[in-house]
Structure formats: structure tokens, C-alpha cells
Chain A
């Protein structure tokens, strides 16, 4: 039997507001337990929530970025359940009327492989606190610093068909929320968390299979692994004659497996109803326009611009616009390199990104500035250095030895472009290797590379490779 996987994601993006969604407490990460929780966050008697307008602005920005409907009127509702890290006994969320309605995002899977994934809705809600089960000798510690932190829950349509697509979608949302400055995207600190709804069905069948929900995945790698494990598990269950149960599961990264957290029967009846402490959220056209005018260039638009302005293919343009900082870096390199866009793309995506990866660094931490890299590309394009020598220059710049010109100067790396000089070196080499010369001339073409190598060796790689090729060809021909 051929199986098809169906995946939908719920992404919780922690909004980058200074204070909480319904109180004035700070949202800064890492404070001592319960030092950032006031009487509102603690659910004291008689205290009341007041909506943080900047959380609303951020929701509007997301709506604009995914071309979604932004609700002129949305409603906060209470989701009722008991848990020690939920001080009021209910979470303020949005249920029937969310702030952001239907939207979509485009995924560039390959050069000619574009997938459009629907976003069902996005709603504002408050986060719960944290229950700490270790270090309390059989008791549970409760830290309410996180209680009341604003979240935007972004719910996708069940439009993804494999783990790769799910990861690409999650990365896309991650990219968007960071671009528009509404979430720092820090996954270790829990600022961006994913729940995956996964089911399988026989290929060609229209009805969805029974789904399992995997909660609280905090890395793209784990997302991919969790989905792959879960898909295998469900297929095994069905092929073994069993049925998949609707349930909530956890992904254990150490064991690379998912396991039951709670079954549907144990699920809470959340008794949602509109929160009478909060008025309906009204968003006027002018609020939306104000956000639109402050919106930065969005990744898809930037990508298209990179394609048309810089002649990049879709895939390269998508890679170079993965984050705002990377896009800006690339554009600065192009400018410094006098418009050498292709060359700039090759170096940013090649040597630079490989070096960053090796060091586990983000583009923000690059020891090499975009101006420095662009300056070096200028020297490639004006033939001062060859591409091969440029790697040497790059490494020197990476190690903090100054900009390209001074490295070239100091290390004497300037390319030899004097034809006469190259010709005389070729003459010497031909004279020193009569055997090889004879073999070449009798038809052993492969030996051409040997002669190139000899010339480069003699010039310590500084001879202009194109000139070496041309001159060698004519000289060897005799």
C-alpha cells in the first residue's frame, strides 16, 4: 500500500513585546523565578487584564506579511483548565473570532518547485508559567515569570505532505516573524515552539486519517525527525491491523521517538467563553495602514527583487533572503563589489557560509564585514587576484589580517598578468620537461593539466589562470 502523509502545524511565536500581554511585567528571559510576575500574572483576586496594544500591532504585522484577513473585530476567550502554572485557572486566548484569518505562504522547495501552504488563522493568547519537577524533592516548583507572555499561535492548513515540507514551512514562518520583528525566533529559550498534527492515509483517499498531535517541538531538526518517526509508527500500526488513536504525543529527542502524553478521553473540556473582563478587540483600517507603512521589505518580495535586480535564480535568491541580516549583508557585498552580483552570491553562499557553519556562527557574528568581502571581489573582477588566491585572501581577512588590498600587498599575492613573464616561465618549464612535452605533442592531451600545474607552482599560484591556459595552448602546440 502507498501511504500519503498529511501534516498541519501550530506554531507558537512569542511576541517581542517589552511587557506581558495583559500586565505591565517584563517579558525578559532568564530572570530569577517569580521575579517578573505581578498580582495580575499571579491571578490575585479582583485584579483585571488590560490588553497590550503592541501585541496587537505585531499580530497585524503577521497578518499583512502572510496576506491574511485581519479581523475588524476579534474576541478574547477563556480556556478553562486547572494547572499550577496557570494561575487564573484559565488561559486568555482567542477561540471563535481570531485576530488574523486565512492567509498563505510560499515555499521554494527547489528551482521549479514552489509549494503554497495555507494559514488557517493566527490568534493572540497568553503563555502559562513553568512547572519545574526536578530539584524539589518530589514536589513541583512553579515559576510564573513566563505566565502572561504574549504568544501568537499560527495555525496552518493540513497542507504539508512530508517532513521536509513541514520543516520548510516552519522555517518560512520563522523567517517571516523575524523579518517583521515580532519574535526573536530563539528556539532554545522557547520563543518559537511547534506542535505537529500528523496523519496518514492511503494514497488517493480523500478523507484524512486519524491524527496524532506532537506537542512542543523546539527545533527544526527534531520536527523533521519527530514527523518521520510518527509517520512510520502510524503506518506500522495500520499495517499491523491496528488503528491510530487520536491523542497528544511527546517527542523524546534522546530516544528519537514519540510517545503518548494524553489520550483524547483524558482531554479537557475547556469550556471556552468570551472573557467578560476584556472588550472585543476592534482593529480599524487606519491601524492596519499604520503597520503596513512600517513593514520592512518581506522575504518573498526581496527574493523576487534579488532575482530581477541581480539576475539570481530563484533558489539562490531564496537562500540569500533567508534572513533580513543575510539579505542586507549580501546587498552590501554587491555594492562594495561594484555590482558583481553573481560573484557575490557565490562567495556569500559558498566560502562565507561554509566558514560560518564551521564555527557555528550566524551571519550577525561574521568576523568578515560585507565591505571587506566586496572589496576582495573587486580584486577578483579586476584580475588583481585569481579565485584560487582569493581563498587565501579570504582566510587572512577572516583571521583579522585587514582588508583585501592590504592582505594582497603584504603577502605579495598580486596576480601575474604580464604575458611576457608568463611566456618565459612556460619556456623554462617546457625546456625542463622534454619527455612530457613530447608525449603531449604525440596526442596525450591529459598532460595539459600537468603543465598548468607546473606554471602555477612556479608562480606560487599567482599567474592569471586564463592567460596561462591560452599561452600554454599555443606554446605547447609548437
Chain B
């Protein structure tokens, strides 16, 4: 039953084919059986999961259930969970148990979802391969010698391998879409402000956005319906009604205008991967879509801009991890400075340190105008590119990533090459737009993701477009044989 969709499970639970407790047990069993090969979970909260499942069964029996009631799910270990460790993939928070739930955790819990545990990730969401975790690298279920992408690699791997029906992720520069692409699942980064950031450990506050990861666009839509909404505790949360994401899934794609940015199909894009993307575009043509070539002229500036803005914000956001109130504290500090230096030196890994240093430098007196301020100006240019494009088209499509998954350790010593694996996803975060990745035809058995970028708060249309494709293809239903 590990390959079923949320709707199929919801039907089965209602028809009494199995209970949520049974369903949860079977997923916990699969985690025990398979996660040794994947390392996709940092913490499995079996006891809490079974208690939630029991409560879900009661709700189902009482007829008080939502589509998500009793569905086994996993949260990226960046979302705070009351009573269950939230490590953010870091030694710094190895001992941290939040006394509160993230808004996303609360909302899904209210819908009755069953949280199996916390998934592995790049440390503090900084990485594109899920190799920077204090808890060790995550492996790609399609090829365990390869990375699952990152930073939400644990969530992507767990869903792809059928260790959870769906999972939460966060996306600062592609951290939902890139691992979804590399693991062959569907993932959505909502419009900035659509999903509350309360209780989601901050990496780069102006870019971070939580979202759902699942097999199908329909599952993603059902999840987003529960996750989205205004939250007074997050000042950047959008005060705007949540659309119906599920009903419009079936809408026709006739006359849909798809923009293909020429900058997304240039040098650096793997030829086979490009062919796979074009094959998907052809499928859309058959569904009645019209293709328009567009240009996003500032695309090349996205990665350098991101690597000023994100580290700058992270250097400040991570200052609170100082060994004083919670988290890792070094042994026997000699004085205050020693406490800070050793606690942080021991608590953070190399990639986190690298970004703190870059960000501290970018914000320093004398450099602020040249880096941070300039980057903010370029952000406006990038947003403008998209604004103009959406005057012409309904959706922008292209590859989610320039290559398929790569070998473990292949790029860890070359940060810039690693950063470039997010070349197509980063601009979306800088502009705050919603975007999805859905699986298309694999290359050499390795999954390929098609990226769909929508206009602000147009998640419903984006999901409809993704769902239309999944109605006529079955890439999203494929499972790696090893875990099937």
C-alpha cells in the first residue's frame, strides 16, 4: 500500500480496508526495513505516530475526518515539533527539543495527518545534495550511490522510496524542487508568504518558504490546501484568502500559454535531459497548449545574487546559536569569547560556516553597498523579468535542474559547481513566485524534473497544469525497483 495516493488511502481508510494504525505500522516497518540504505530520517517518532494514528481512526469512525486524516507523513527536520527533537541536520541542535510546533506542523496535525518522524536534510538547509547533514548523507532511492538533491533530500528520498506518503520541505533556492526532480516526485514551492514560516528554522528569511512534497500534483494540492493560509505570527505571511486547489485540478489546458525561457535551454543543460523536457512540452501541446519562446534576460545574475542575499541573511539568522540558551555548548568554556567560538566551531559544519563568513563579509561596513544593496537591486530586475513574461504567458516551463542526480561526494569539494545545480530554481525564490517540479521521462534510469513557474498566488493554476500532465503520463507513479 506504500505506492497509493492520498485520495486512495483516504478512500481505503473510509471503507475500512485498513485502519490508520495499520497503515502507520506498515510505513514504520518500511522505514525499519529500508532506511538503513537511504538515511532519509533523522528521527522516527514511532510512539507519537501511533498515538496520532489512533486518534485519526477515532476521527474517521466519528465521520470527522479530512482527506489527510490518518495519512502517514514526514516533516523535514527544519520544522519545529513540540516534544520531538528538531535538529535542522546540525550538531548545533542535536539536543534541541522545541516547546512548540511550527505552523505547518500544527495545520497538518489539525487535519489529522500522522507524523512518522523528521527527515534528513542539508545542515540548516544549506546544500543541494543532502550531504552536509551532521547525521550523514542521504542517498537517492533510484541509485543509492547518488545524491537525492537537497536540502530537502530526506523528504524527497522518503517519499520516492515509499517510506512516507508525502512530506514537508522548505525551499530557499530550490530545496523542494531540486530534490523532487532528482528523486522523481512532485514538489511545490508556494508563493512567498502563502505558507507561514512560524516555527520553521530560518535560513534566509526573505527567501524561505515551506511546501509539500508528494508523488502526484493532486497529493500536493491536497496538502497545500491544509498548509496554506495567513498566520498573524508571521509578519510576512500573506493576508489573502486561500484558493481552492483541488477542484480546479481537472480544468482543461486548452489554450494554455507556456513560456519557454531561452536562457533555460542554453549551454550547461544536459542534452538528454533537454530532450526529456521537450518531450514533456510536446505532451502539453497535445493537451492544447501553445508554446511561446520568452526571455528572462537577468537569469545569469540569479545565482550570484542569491549567494549574497542568502548568506547575508543566514549570517544574522544563525547568530542566535551561541551556546547560551539551548543547543550545543562546548565543554568548560574559559570565558565568553571561548564559549562563542568553540560552541559555534564545533556545532556548525563547513558549508554553514562558509555561508556565515560570506554573509558576514557581504554585510560589513564598506561592502554593504557593493554587495547586499546591489543584490537587492538585481532582485528587482529579476522580478521584473518574470512580471514581463507573465504578461505574455500563463506558465513558464523548463528543466528543474541542469543535470540528473550525481554521485555522492562528486561536488562536495567544489562549492561553486554545487551552487550551480540550483541555477534554474533560484530566480524563483528571489522573485517570490510559486513553482513546482514534476517528474518527466528519466534519463538513464535517473529521474528528470520539469519545472513549472506560475504567477504570484497562482498555485491553483500551477497544480492544474501539473495534474493535467499526470493524467496522461505515469512518471509520477514510478517507483525504484529496489524499494518497491
| Residues of A that sit less than 8 Å from B by CB | 39, 42-51, 78, 80, 82, 84, 87-90, 140, 142, 269, 271-273, 276-279
Determine whether the beta carbon of B235 is less than 8 Å from that of A89. no
Residues of B within 8 Å of A48, CB to CB, are 197-198, 233-235
Give me 8 A-to-B residue pairs in the complex whose CB atoms sit less than 8 angstroms apart, sorted by A's number.
Answer: A39-B100, A45-B93, A45-B202, A46-B79, A48-B235, A50-B235, A51-B235, A90-B319
CB proximity to A under 8 Å, residues B306-347? 312-313, 315-316, 318-322, 324-326, 336, 340
CA gap between A39 and B96 in the complex, in Å: 13
* Cβ–Cβ contact B235 & A87, under 8 A: no
Given A45-B86, A87-B320, A273-B363, 5 further pairs, Cβ under 8 A: A45-B93, A84-B324, A269-B365, A271-B360, A276-B206
**B441 an interface residue at 8 Å Cβ cutoff?**
no
- B residues 378-403 near A (Cβ < 8 Å) are none
Distance, CA A369 to CA B15, complexed state (A)? 81
Which of B199, B320, B363, B365 neighbours the largest number of chain A CB atoms within 10 Å of its CB?
B320
Ranked nearest first, the 7 interchain pairs of A and B with the lowest CB-CB distance are A89-B319, A271-B363, A276-B206, A276-B205, A43-B320, A46-B199, A45-B201
B340 neighbours in A (Cβ, 8 Å): 82
CB atoms of A271 and B364 under 8 A apart: yes
Tell which of A39, A80, A276 has the most Cβ of chain B within 10 Å: A276
Of the residues B197, B200, B325, contact of A42 by C-beta under 8 Å: B325
Taking CB atoms, residues of chain A closer than 8 Å to B232 are 50
B96 touches A45 (CB 8 A): yes
Complex CA–CA separation, A44 to B102 (angstroms): 12
Which residues of B sit under 8 angstroms from A277, Cβ to Cβ? 202, 205, 235-236
* B316 cross-chain contacts in A, Cβ below 8 A: 78, 80, 89-90, 271, 273
Chain A: which residue is nearest B234 at the CB level?
A48
B222 contacts partner chain A, Cβ-Cβ < 8 Å: no
Let me know if B99 and A39 touch, CB within 8 A: yes
Q: How far is the CB of B291 from chain A (nearest CB, A)?
A: 37
**Contact residues of A: prevailing secondary structure:** loop
Number of A-B contacts (CB under 8 A): 99
B80 in the interface, Cβ–Cβ < 8 Å? yes
B205 contacts A46, CB within 8 Å?
A: no
Residue pair A44, B235 in contact (C-beta under 8 Å): no
Residue of B nearest to A82 (CB): B340
Smallest beta-carbon distance A282→chain B, Å: 12
Q: Are B202 and A46 in contact (CB under 8 A)?
A: yes
| Interface-centre pick from A48, A78, A84, A89 (highest chain B CB count, 10 A) | A48
B368 at the interface (CB under 8 A from A): yes
| Residues of A contacting B324 in the complex (Cβ-Cβ under 8 angstroms) | 84, 87, 142
CA distance A51 to B234 in the complex (A): 10
Q: Please tell me if the beta carbons of B233 and A50 are within 8 angstroms of each other in the complex.
A: yes
Is B55 located at the chain interface by the 8 A CB criterion? no
Which residues of A have CB within 8 Å of B289? none
Partner of A46, one of B102, B318, B336: B102
By beta carbon, the residue of chain B nearest A51 is: B235
Separation of A82 and B102 alpha carbons in the complex (Å): 26
Q: How far is the CA of A38 from the CA of B484 in the complex (A)?
A: 47
Whether A46 pairs with B372 at a CB distance below 8 angstroms is no
How far does the Cβ of A78 sit from chain B's closest Cβ, in whole Å?
Answer: 5
Q: In the bound complex, how far is the Cα of B313 from the Cα of A421, in angstroms?
A: 92
CA of A134 to CA of B336 in the docked complex: distance in angstroms?
16
Cβ–Cβ < 8 Å partners of B235 in chain A: 48-51, 277-279
Contacts of B278 on A, CB cut-off 8 Å? none
Residues on B with beta carbons closer than 8 Å to the beta carbon of A84:
322, 324, 336
Quick one: which of A90, A273, A279 has the most chain B CB within 10 A?
A273
B319 and A46 contacting across the interface, CB-CB below 8 Å: no
Contacts of B234 in A (CB 8 A): 48, 50
CB distance from A283 to the nearest CB of B (A): 16
Q: Of A46, A49, A90, A142, which one neighbours B201 at CB under 8 angstroms?
A: A46
Complex CA–CA separation, A276 to B232 (angstroms): 16
- Out of A44, A82, A140, which one reaches B319, CB within 8 Å? A82
Q: Chain B CB within 10 Å — which of A47, A50, A277 has the most?
A: A47
List the A side residues contacting B220 at CB < 8 Å. none
Q: Which of A46, A89, A90, A142 meets B98, CB within 8 Å?
A: A46
Central interface residue in A51, A78, A89, by most chain B CB within 10 Å: A89
Cβ of A273 and Cβ of B368 under 8 Å apart? yes
A89 to B344, CA, bound (A): 13
Question: Which residues B95-114 have CB closer than 8 A to chain A?
Answer: 96, 98-100, 102
**Interface membership of B121, Cβ < 8 A:** no
Whether the pair A273, B205 counts as a contact (CB closer than 8 A) is no
Given contacts A84-B324, A142-B324, contact A45 B80 (CB under 8 A): yes
In the assembled complex, the CB of B94 is this many whole angstroms from the nearest CB of chain A, namely 13
Please indicate the chain B residues that have their CB under 8 angstroms from the CB of A89 in the complex.
Answer: 316, 318-320, 322
CA distance A49 to B202 in the complex (A): 13
A220–B236 Cα gap in the complex (Å)?
42
Q: Which of A43, A47, A279 contacts B198 (CB 8 A)?
A: A47
Q: Is B88 in the interface zone, CB < 8 Å from A?
A: yes
A residues near B312, Cβ cutoff 8 Å:
273
Residue of A nearest to B93 (CB): A45
Instruction: List, in ascending order, chain A residues with CB within 8 A of B326's CB.
Output: 44
Q: A269 contacts which chain B residues (CB < 8 A)? A: 364-365
Q: Are B320 and A273 in contact (CB under 8 A)?
A: no
Asked if A80 contacts B319 (CB within 8 A), the reply is: yes
Please give me the residue from chain A that is nearest to B324 by CB atom.
A84
Chain B residues near A42 (CB-CB < 8 A): 325
A350 to chain B, nearest CB (A): 55
Does the CB pair A80–B320 fall under 8 Å?
no
Chain B, range 194-214, C-beta contacts under 8 Å to A: 197-202, 204-206
Q: Which residues of A contact B80 (CB under 8 A)?
A: 45-46
Q: How many Å lie between the Cα of A50 and that of B237 in the bound state?
A: 11
Asked, given contacts A46-B80, A48-B198, A89-B320, whether A273 binds B372 with beta carbons under 8 Å apart, the answer is yes
**Which residues in window 48-103 of B have CB below 8 A to A?**
79-80, 86, 88, 93, 96, 98-100, 102
Pairwise interchain contact A46-B198, C-beta atoms closer than 8 A: yes
State in angstroms the CA–CA spacing of A269 and B88 once bound together: 29
A150 shortest CB reach to chain B, Å: 16
Nearest residue (CB) in B for A43 is B320
Determine how close the nearest CB of chain A comes to the CB of B314; give it in whole angstroms. Answer: 11
A49 CA to B236 CA in the complex, in Å? 10
B residues 154-203 touching A (CB-CB < 8 Å): 197-202
The interface residues of chain A lying within 8 Å CB-to-CB of B363 are: 80, 271-273
Chain B neighbourhood of A140, CB < 8 A: 336
A271-B364, A276-B206 known; A45+B88 contact, CB < 8 A: yes
Residues of chain A within 8 A (CB-CB) of B197 are: 46, 48
The CA-CA distance from A46 to B327 in the complex, in Å, is: 14
State A90–B314 Cα separation when bound (angstroms): 12
Is B313 in contact with A276, judged by CB distance below 8 angstroms?
yes
Q: How far is the CA of A271 from the CA of B368 in the complex (A)?
A: 8
- B233-248 residues at the A interface, CB under 8 angstroms: 233-236
Q: For the complex, what is the distance from the CA of A78 to the CA of B201, rounded to whole Å?
A: 18
Within 8 Å CB of A47, what residues of B? Answer: 100, 198-199
**A194-B316 Cα distance, complex, nearest whole Å:** 28
Question: Which of A78, A80, A142, A271 counts the most chain B CB atoms within 10 A?
Answer: A271
CB distance from A38 to the nearest CB of B (A): 10
Question: Which chain A residues lie closer than 8 Å to B206 at the CB level?
Answer: 276
B208 to A, closest residue via Cβ: A276
User: With A45-B93, A49-B235, A279-B235 given, is the CB distance from A87 to B325 under 8 Å?
Assistant: yes
Chain B 292-317 against A: per-residue CB contact (8 Å), 1 yes, 0 no? Answer: 00000000000000000000110110
Q: How far is the CB of A55 from chain B (nearest CB, A)?
A: 14
List A contacts of B321 (CB < 8 A). 45
Chain B residues with CB under 8 A of A271: 315-316, 360, 363-365, 368
Residues of chain A within 8 A (CB-CB) of B319 are 80, 82, 88-90
Residues of A within 8 A of B200 (CB): 46
Name the B residues within 8 Å of A273 (CB-CB).
312, 316, 363, 368, 372
